[in-house]
Chains A and B, each alone.
Chain A
Amino acid sequence: MDIPKENLISYHGPINIDLVSFISNYLKQYIKADNSVIGRIYKVLIELIQNVSYYSADQYSNLRSFGSGIGWFRIDAQNECFTITTGNKILKEHGPILLKNSEEINALDEEALRDLKRKTRSQANIRDIGAHIGLIQTGLITGNNLEIKVEPIDNEFSFLIISASVNKTNT
């Protein structure tokens, strides 16, 4: 682990589009880094927390919004990078698929990942393009491996934790 680390922000609760917008724009002003690095944090944060918002198995039904998934996210400053980490409940059967997808993403080089993104995007349903392409995009933007853990909760649900790192030095 790259230490020391400083937690820049953490949140746990329902995540809807207005929260996504507020937090991501707030961070643009709060994080001290090159504009290109801040831009990458912004892009990765939105992709990952929108996945929580849309696909968390825990949905907050009182918010009049399409996606109001309950989960958490945090951003930490490490020595060499910023990490964006999200956590949310998922249906148990989705765990192996997410692990397989992230293994595939981590194994591909940039050009192969771009090929996979184009193929996945063109085949995606416009009403719900799925979480997979957001993870591919995160892999492309960061150039680093995704870290993903699936912890069993019970017979029906698991807990998903995804972490992505944005280098402080632009590449």
Chain B
Amino acid sequence: MKSLMIEAIPDSPYYPEVNFDASNGVCLIQGESYMEEAYKFYMPLLDWLKEFAVEENNKVTLNVMLTYFNTNSSRLLLDMFDILKKSVDAGNVVEINWYYEEDDPDIMDEVEDFEIETGLEINMIPFQA
């Protein structure tokens, strides 16, 4: 299976950078996410995770470094976590690390909402921008 890479576009900062590495299962999404028609951006990510984590039963480490995502994107992030929950339920190893800016007063609740909805455990790791 091939890795999935989407480079950051400086003129379009509403697209995050993506690096889903098929060689070791380490998946990174970082930057900001508030593009139009978010499902078009996220569908390849969802398809990749379904194949890699659910159909091929590989271990995944997802590192999320999103400093902002709008509600459209959060709907697609929820789908990403739902796929990873299916992988966990099938007995596979999934680790999710969410790197957050320490001065963001709302992010803990946002991530806790994902945990409540999916039943996944998400590790919160602070960083300074």
Contacts and interface: CB of A to CB of B under 8 A. Distances in A.
Best-surrounded residue of B35, B37, B117 (most CB of chain A within 10 A): B37
Given A121-B75, A141-B106, A114 B113 contact: yes
Nearest to B46: A126
Nearest to B112: A114
A46 B70 contact: yes
B26 interface: no
Interface residues of A, number: 38
- Per DSSP, chain A at the interface is helix
Query: Which size class do B's interface residues fall under?
Result: 20 to 34
B13 A118 contact: no
B14 A127 contact: no
Contacts, number: 80
B104 A36 contact: yes
B34 A25 contact: no
Contacts of A39: 68, 101, 103-106
Given A46-B70, A118-B116, A124-B75, A36 B103 contact: yes
B105 A36 contact: yes
A141 B109 CA distance: 10
Best-surrounded residue of B35, B68, B75 (most CB of chain A within 10 A): B75
Interface in A114-157: 114, 117-118, 121-122, 124, 126-127, 129, 133-134, 136-137, 140-141
B36 interface: yes
Interface in B25-49: 34-39, 42
A17 B35 contact: yes
A79 interface: no
B94 interface: no
A17 B104 CA distance: 23
B17 interface: no
A43 B75 contact: no
Contacts of A141: 106
Interface string B102-123: 0111100100010011000000
Nearest to B82: A122
B113 A117 contact: yes
Contact of B103 (A16, A17, A35): A35
A129 B106 contact: no
Contacts of B14: 17, 20-21
Contacts of A5: none
B12 interface: yes
